[in-house]
Amino acid sequence: MFPKGPRFPAPKPSDVPGPNAYTIPQESALDNYKRGAFLEKTDRFTKDKQPIDATKPPSTTSDNTKQKSQPDMERYRILQKKVEDLEKVHLEGKKTHQVELERLRQELAASQKASAEQAERLEKQKKQNAVLEARIQELKKASTTDQSELKDLRHKLRVFELERDKASSKHSEILELKKTLATLEAKRKEDLKERDRRVADLERQLQTEKRKRESLETSAQDSTRALEDELNAKRTAVADMEKCLEQALEDSRQARAALHDIQDHASDREDALVEQLEQHRRLLNTVAEQYGALASQSVSLSKYNALQRDHHASQLRQLRLERKLANAEGQVVELAHLIRHIKEQNLHLSKHLTIASEEISFLASQDQSALPPPGIEDWSSSLLDDIRSDLHENKMKLLESTQTTDSLVSTYYELKSSDLHFAASAILQQYTDVQALAEQRSSDLTSALASHEAIATRLESIQKEKAEFEEKMKEATATSDDLRASLAVLETQLAEAQDKIDRSESQHAAVLKKERDAVARLTSTVQKTRIAEDALRAEIERLTAELTEAERFQEAYYSLSEEVGALITRNQLAEEEAEKISKFNAEILGHHNPAQRIMYVDRIRRELAEAKHKIAQLTREHENVLAHNEDLQHEIDMYKSVRVPQENKPRTAKTRVGRPPLVNLGNSLNIDTRSSHATSVAFSKPHFEPLLEYREGDMTTDELIDEYAFELTIMATPPPDRVRKPQTTPVLVKAYLVAYNVASTLGWAYILVLTLIHLFNLDGASDTIPSPHGHTASSVLSRFVSSLSLPKALRFTTTSSFESRLPPALQPVYRRSTTAYSRVGPQTAFVQSFAILEVVHVLLGWVRSPLQTTAMQVSSRLFLVWGVVEQFPEVRSNPLFSSMVFAWSLTEVIRYSFYAFNLVGKNPYVLLYLRYTTFYILYPLGASSEAFLIYATLPKSSPIPGWLSWLQGMWKPADYIRATLFGIWWPGLYIMYTYMIVQRRKVLGQGPKTLKTN
């Protein structure tokens, strides 16, 4: 509708300068040499100068034209932008209209084709149903005929049995009748087998059923005729064999009776012997057990009672002696205290005596001449006598106490020796009693063994007799088993024939049910197609309504174009008026003499205005050229790319042709349509259908077909996030990456299953694995926590009894976690070592992942596997190794399976949800286990060098490196945890996105 090129004729550049064109900047010093006395005194060229009299006509007209020209230009620009927007909307609507028409056409053809196929299938199903019903009727008739034949055969069998009973009543005909019955039964078995085979053939091949039935009837008639002939022939010979038959019957009856008696007697005797043997065995076992128990534990009752009484008496004596000994010991202690007290008194008195003697000698030496006072000698002598008497009494008391202690000690030792002598005599008496009892038990044991040997010999003879009776029983029961087997074979054949008939009926019923279901599905699909046709009719009606609504916008567009033309004419008039006003202004400012400066200034102003206008045009053309070049480059890039968004389709130099709706579509749906129109869901702007008229630059039919095919190829690809050259992965590389991710998933799944089996002892062998000696998790945690200043409420974690504080249900799991390395340690190292290939994938460019992040992740895992667990044996028995392996395996199973599905073009929401949800638990569990395993390898001494650390073991550079890694691990966990939370919000919070594949 809109050919490319300018919609309106380009306006001619005006020679009249625009408004404010005569204003020269005050800062310009180009025309300073032109200024004279007259010009310097006037300020006519100032920008902000206002007219003196606002009522003058020239000034008012210039202001009005200025005020009118600016809104007109703005309105013109706005209208031109609206026209361009409408043109874009129209082109986009035309494209979507063509695409929607083609899609509706394809859907209509597909629905018509499906309905035709369903009608054909329905007819075929009806025919098959008729054929199957006919076959079912034939099979029912065949089954009724078979049942009638079976009834006839049963009737004949009963007749034969009656005849056999009659013949058995006659003693002379019994033997011959048996032979004839045997032949008849054999023939009947053959007939039944032949009939069963023919029945099976009838089930497999329905067409030959009548022939086989007729052959069965003829064979049955022949067999009955032959049997009747044989019976008539044999009846004549029955009379000769009556006597022999009676004799044989009597012998057989006697033999059977004797056999039954022997069997009953043998069975009863066998049962009795077996019971006796079992009783003897039980008795012998109980005797041996009781004898062993008596020989090892018990004695006779009288001796036991005597020993018990002696024991009680000895206990009483022991208690009395202990009480006496305790009293004696208490007395000895009191005597010792008394002796010590007496000794202390004697020492004290001896000291007083020495002091007194010294005083006496001193007083005597002081004055030999001086006479003692009267009575001093008597006093000193009496004092000495008292002291001597006290000393003598003390010595006597001391001797008495020592004598009493010696007597008490002698009595204690006498009592002790008597007790020991009594105990020794009692033990000797018990020893002699036990020895006599053992000799008696040994004699009893020899007699029991002799009786056991006799019982064993008797048992062997009984077993031999039992074997003989069993052989006889087998020979006797063989004949009865043969007769029963023949009867069971006949019954099973009849049951099989009945089962085959029932099976065929069930199969036909199932086939009939399937056909009915197929008919129901076909009817439902026909109803769905009708509903789809109704929906298509409603859609076409809606499109026609929208087309009528779009005609209003077309009318508005035409009115806008007319208004734009009027604005253009008004702009031309405004420019002419501005030129007139500029000429009038020039006449006001100066004279008509061209030699004057005012005319020169006016000419310069005109030239400046023209130069500005040309510069504006050139800049606009330059911008248009740049924009056109960008559009061309963008179109070339989109032609190079396969994935082009629908809103950025390349626009060719050819205009799409509007076409009326297809008449066939409307006629097929019985709808009168004047035009069709499709709306795109992606656009919310109203659009309208162009008029169907030919214009210059429209496309031919061949060009339309080529352009439509190109648009279909572009629309078939989903739009990317941004237009760029696509990067496709080679098929072999993609297959290798899928295989790598699947193999990694299987490896980590094997480790996860093996870990769970070991922790919960699912195979029953986890408790038998020995635990290597080393530091446990409780010691590591206690050593870490003990280095911190914790409050008293939290100091329970520093104890070594971590296992005892766990619930009873978790204690076995905790113990098994210390031996997990023996089950999954080498497998984990093997599977984790293959993760080096991820770094190789990034280096080769097969995977779009940052090299540094991938290398750090893989190297940290390898450091833990080979640098920590492999080098330090105490880490292998740490329960944190089990938690680390569990977190690793579960995370990697989800991650690798997610990558594998993403590579093959699938993205299950379950894996996506688990990928961005399980890290809430698994990341802290795995990272904390890794960190504390590193901490467990550090020395127990202080990291600060000193004499104490020198005694306990100095830290090495590798220890400092591991300690640094332990400190770095926690902020790394925080960064990774928050990063995953942000990624989860992006992925699960804003719908599905294109995800990175590994």
- Output the pLDDT for position 668: 37
Count CB atoms within 10 A of the CB of residue 278: 10
As a whole-number percent, the residues of the chain with pLDDT over 70 amount to 72
On whether residue 737 sits in a domain, the answer given is yes
Tokens, residue 172: 């002379």
For residue 166, pLDDT over 60 is answered with yes
Q: Looking at residue 641, what is its pLDDT? A: 45
Which residues span the domain enclosing 840?
Answer: 731-989
More confident: 428 or 168 = 428
40 or 839: which carries more pLDDT confidence? 839
HEC readout, 871-908: CCHHHHCCHHHHHHHHHHHHHHHHHHHHHHHHHCCCCC
Residues 790-821 have pLDDT tens digits of 443 334 344 345 677 788 888 888 888 888 88
Cα dihedral across residues 617, 618, 619, 623: positive or negative: positive
Residue 743 lies in a domain: yes
Q: If you average pLDDT over residues 651-675, what whole number do you get?
A: 39
Residue 85 has pLDDT above 80, yes or no: yes
pLDDT classification of 748: cutoffs 50, 70, 90: very high
- Does residue 636 carry a pLDDT above 60? yes
Confidence grade of residue 39 (pLDDT, cut at 50, 70, 90): very low
Angstrom distances, CA of residue 592 to CA of 44, 583, 595: 18, 11, 9
503-538 pLDDT, tens digit each: 878 887 888 888 888 888 888 888 888 888 888 888
The answer to whether residues 332 and 405 touch, using CB atoms and an 8 Å cutoff, is yes
Residue 891 pLDDT grade (very low, low, confident, very high; cuts 50, 70, 90): very high
Q: Are 811 and 827 in contact (CB under 8 A)?
A: no
* pTM over cut 0.75: no
Quote the CA–CA distance of 358 and 744 in Å, as a whole number: 110
Residue 299 is predicted with a pLDDT of 65
* Rama region for 364: left / alpha / beta (φ>0; ψ in -120 to 50; rest): alpha
Name the region of 661 (left: φ>0; alpha: ψ -120 to 50; beta: rest): beta
Give the tokens for residue 325: 């000994």
More confident residue, 337 or 25: 337
Instruction: Please identify, among 230, 248, 266, the residue that sits at the C-terminal boundary of a domain.
Output: 248
Tokens read off for 542: 């809606």
What is the separation of C-alpha 38 from the centre of its chain, rounded to a whole number of angstroms?
Answer: 98
Of 197-201, 306-310, 486-490, 740-744, which one has max mean pLDDT?
Answer: 740-744
Query: Quick check: 994 pLDDT over 50?
Result: no
Q: Which residues contact 778 (CB under 8 A, 6 or more apart)?
A: 799, 800, 801, 802, 803
- pLDDT above 70: residue 64: no
Contacts of 994 (CB under 8 A, 6+ apart): 721
Say if 295 falls within a structural domain. Answer: no
Q: What is the mean pLDDT of residues 912-939?
A: 89
In a domain, 150, yes or no: yes
Which one of 248, 275, 299 terminates a domain? 248
- What's the pLDDT band for 665 if we cut at 50, 70, 90? very low
Distances (CA, A) of 753 to 165, 189, 595, 653, 750: 74, 60, 108, 65, 5
In a domain, 942, yes or no: yes
Q: What is the pLDDT of residue 298?
A: 66
**pLDDT exceeds 90 at position 749:** yes
pLDDT value, residue 387: 79
Highest mean pLDDT, choosing among 291-295, 401-405, 866-870: 866-870
Q: Which amino acid is at 625?
A: V
In this prediction, residues 961-982 reach a mean pLDDT of: 85
- Residue 597 confidence class, pLDDT cut points 50, 70, 90: low
pLDDT digits (tens, 9 = 90+) for 2-21: 455 555 556 666 666 555 55
What's the pLDDT score for residue 754?
92
Mean pLDDT of the chain: 73
Backbone angles phi, psi at 217, to 5 degrees: -65, -45
Cβ atoms of residues 847 and 838 within 8 Å: yes
Please determine, for residue 661, whether its predicted confidence score (pLDDT) is greater than 70. no
Average the pLDDT over each of 310-314, 392-396, 641-645 and give the range with the smallest value: 641-645
Count the domains in the chain: 2
**Which phi and psi angles does 386 have, rounded to 5°?**
-60, -45
Tens digit of pLDDT for each residue in 222-272?
Answer: 777 777 777 777 677 666 777 776 777 787 778 778 777 887 887 888 888
pLDDT at 727: 52
Does the pLDDT of residue 921 top 70, yes or no? Answer: yes
Flag whether 979 is in a domain: yes
Helices (H) and strands (E) counted in the chain, each on its own, are 22, 0
Q: How far apart are CA 954 and CA 939, in angstroms?
A: 8
* DSSP SS3 for 88: helix
* 439-449 pLDDT tens trace: 887 777 777 77
pLDDT computed for residue 532 by the predictor? 84
Within-domain flag for 48: no
Looking at 214, 248, 282, which one is the last position of a domain?
248
Residue 893 burial class via C-beta count within 10 angstroms: exposed 0-12, middle 13-18, buried 19 and up: buried
Q: What is the pLDDT of residue 751?
A: 93
**Residue 785 in this model has a pLDDT that exceeds 80:** no
Token pair in block for residue 502:
């029932």
**pLDDT band (50, 70, 90) for residue 788:** very low
Q: Summarize pLDDT for 850-889 with one digit per residue, the tens.
A: 888 888 888 888 999 998 998 888 888 889 999 999 999 9
> Is residue 846 within 8 Å of residue 740, measured between CB atoms?
no
In a domain, 912, yes or no: yes
| pLDDT at residue 61 tops 50 | no
- Beta partners for 698? 655
pLDDT of residue 988: 81
Q: How confident is the model at residue 774 (pLDDT cuts 50, 70, 90)?
A: very low
Q: Tell me what pLDDT residue 515 has.
A: 80
Which positions are annotated as active-site residues?
Answer: 923, 930
